[in-house]
Amino acid sequence: MPVPKDSQNKISFQIHLRKIPLLANLSEDEMRQVMTDLRIRTYAKRDVVLQKGASGDSLLFLLSGQLQVIDVTEDGRAIGLRMLAPGDFFGEIAVINGSTRSASVVALSPVMVALLPRNTALHLFSHSPSVANHMLRFLAEKVQRDSQFRALLSIHNTAKRIYTFLELLKEKKDGDVEVVENLPTHQDIANMINTSRETVTRTLLTLVQQGIIEKGTHRLIILDPAALQKLAQT
């Protein structure tokens, strides 16, 4: 989502903001308020955009570039949680709760970010039906994924934990192919599901040899979804 270089060009900028799903259905009045309050910032590759533990005084939108959400475990290991793409918002939990940032966000490329002050964001959350709806769905899905993830962590068998993890991450793409996009590193997967990097590497390799999955660049194609499902369930 490229942004016009001259951000005084309000009309063109407004069209770009309409491409952000959370803001797509704002009324004209609401959009004007957002345009007035929004601040633009750029970051270089490897910059820390949000720091876990810092105070949370704005909602952020990624306008261009790529960001990664990173959590640091109790014993100090960094876990790459998820990738953000242009049009995504982030930092909503601290805005809603008035709490500190619950994870860090770092730039994987040069990025352009828009910041909406907390009060404007909170007003939209509770007074714009389309925004309220969008936020509730977003958070409910997060809660649901977290609860599936918790169920996963209680699986004793490590290989089965990895199969189930892939089942959770997979999405249907064009032509009904099932893929895992932005596959975390083997070390990140190991940290997330409480096993070793070696076990992750060995288990994925076995799945490749069995023709169940195929590895691409940062993605994984599931060639035999039924077989994977069966492995996860038995």
Residues of the shown chain interacting with a second copy in the complex, contacts defined by CB under 8 A:
71, 73-75, 77, 79, 92-93, 96-97, 99, 102-103, 122, 125-127, 129-130, 132-133, 135-137, 139-144, 146-147, 149-156, 160, 164, 191-192, 194
Give the pair of three-digit tokens for residue 86.
Answer: 């242009």
Smallest distance from a second copy to CB 114, Å? 21
Smallest distance from a second copy to CB 116, Å? 15
Question: Which residue's CB is nearer to a second copy, number 206 or number 233?
Answer: 233
| Cβ 117 vs Cβ 37: under 8 Å | yes
Smallest distance from a second copy to CB 170, Å? 16
For residues 23 and 32, give the distance between their C-alpha atoms in angstroms, rounded to a whole number.
12
> Residue 114 contacts by C-beta under 8 Å, 6 or more apart in sequence?
17, 38, 39, 40, 41, 60, 61, 63
| Cβ 185 vs Cβ 80: under 8 Å | yes
Question: Which residue's CB is nearer to a second copy, number 132 or number 177?
Answer: 132
Question: Which residue's CB is nearer to a second copy, number 141 or number 210?
Answer: 141
For residues 130 and 163, give the distance between their C-alpha atoms in angstroms, rounded to a whole number.
37
Smallest distance from a second copy to CB 3, Å? 28
